[in-house]
Amino acid sequence: MSDPIAFLQALIRAQREGEAAVQRLVADAARDLGCRIETVTYRPADVAMVGEFAAQRAMAAGERTSVLATLDGNATGRSVIFFAHPDGEPVAGTDAWQRDPFGGVVDGGRIHGWGVADDLSGVAMMVEGLRTLLEQGRRPAGKVILASTPSKRHARGVSALLHAGLKADAAVYCHPAESGEGMREIKAFCLGQLDFRITAEGKAPPTHEISHLAFAHQAESPADALAEVHSRLKALADQRAQSLHHPLLDKAVGRSSNLLISHIDLGAPGVHTRIAPLGVMEGSLSLLPGEDMARVQASVAEAVGGAARLEWISGISGAEVPPQSPLYGIVADAIVGITGQSPHVNPLHTASDIRNPIVQAGIPTVGLGPLGGDLTQNGLHDEWVDVEDYRRAVKVVAAIIAGWCGTA
């Protein structure tokens, strides 16, 4: 039997050369398993938007490439798509790492590497899961599709495949859990979100004095406008929290809708006596699965009013798969069979890629992955995935294929 750690280490080492090198390894490995390989090149900005939007500058520029590996069944079983993203954060700050970021170092039960938890281990677990099943002498009765497809910075790889006609009876997003739960949880629920920028203009007082302090009452400060807008947005968020309820969210955090203001920019640091010409406030508002995005946008625009300019950066819909669904049942049984533990749904994921097949193609989708941490995207270093939980994830993928697709 092959060692699934070796393939993950190979992907980590390939990261040094970039995404294309990772994708070549994925294609070669899947081809060796008997899969039919297709490479799909696309431009993120050309992919049709369904249940989402993004400003042009928020999208990844240039062409991107997905690797699609298909193992045809005998048409007696259900089909499934496993997908994960090979792209990671732009390489920077590697001098802070205590281990070689491209060495695939195993230390203290963890495998370390650039992008290993986001999302090379997801790519590896779907390939190695299929390999495990085949090495057991079992061939899927239904079609199995492995999609290694870019996702970071609105790369929209899985969306491009879906809009190009990719179909299946179910999908599984392979990605390490970022909640510290690892294989004890299933991603079957995700919030949507609206990202916005609000700009207010200031008006200097009628003076040529360097200091505006004595004339401040004759000026219009963007701080005042943004404070008023923030107050109205907070009132809107509180009203939504009182009227919107989802049992999973209410149980987990006591609230099912939220507003987060993440950034405010006013003037220049250290300049205390001049009215700022502009004030900028940025933030996000969460959406429940099934909410009408346009209606929520209209309520935000009404709250902002005419005292400031509202700009939408991006928006995505929420999505969920109920625990009583056939897919959830198969995945939960696979996890119990391998780990001995009953999984649960963590409802606190926002913007998970499980939403894409659900919202854009009506394909039920859940996500799962091994325990990982110290993600580079969070400004940390020595990103890692737990070795034993990764091995369990590979076995769970094999069990999902057998349970969902059947075996010939």
Domains and CATH numbers, the chain: 4-190+319-405 (3.40.630.10), 192-316 (3.30.70.360)
What was the pLDDT predicted at 263? Answer: 96
Rounded to 10 degrees, the C-alpha dihedral 386/392/398/402 comes to -150
Worst-scoring range by mean pLDDT, 150-159, 293-302, 316-325, 359-368? 150-159
Q: What would the mean pLDDT of 142-164 be, rounded to a whole number?
A: 92
Q: Is the pLDDT of residue 207 over 70?
A: yes
What was the pLDDT predicted at 1? Answer: 66
Distance CA 301, CA 295 (A): 10
Distance CA 108, CA 246 (A): 40
Instruction: Assign 39 to helix, strand or coil.
Output: strand
Q: What would the mean pLDDT of 40-44 be, rounded to a whole number?
A: 91
* Nearest by Cα to 357 from 167, 85, 188: 167
Q: Is the pLDDT of residue 59 over 70?
A: no
Q: Is the pLDDT of residue 343 over 70?
A: yes
What was the pLDDT predicted at 227? Answer: 95
Widest CA span of the chain, in angstroms?
Answer: 84
What was the pLDDT predicted at 103? Answer: 95
Q: Is the pLDDT of residue 85 over 80?
A: yes
What was the pLDDT predicted at 58? Answer: 64
Q: What would the mean pLDDT of 260-270 be, rounded to a whole number?
A: 93
Distance CA 131, CA 133 (A): 5
Angle at 126 between CA 92 and CA 189, to 5 degrees: 80
Q: What is the mean pLDDT of the chain?
A: 93
What was the pLDDT predicted at 60? Answer: 65
Q: Is the pLDDT of residue 61 over 80?
A: no
Residues 6+ apart with CB under 8 A from 324: none
What was the pLDDT predicted at 55? Answer: 77
Q: How many percent of the chain have pLDDT more than 90?
A: 79
Amino acid at 181: E
What was the pLDDT predicted at 238? Answer: 96
Residue 234 CA, chain-centre distance (Å), reads: 26
Tokens of 228: 């008023």
Distance CA 300, CA 281 (A): 14
Q: Is the pLDDT of residue 202 over 80?
A: yes
What was the pLDDT predicted at 84? Answer: 97
In terms of C-beta density within 10 A (0-12 exposed, 13-18 middle, 19 or more buried), how is residue 92 classed?
exposed
Distance CA 129, CA 234 (A): 46
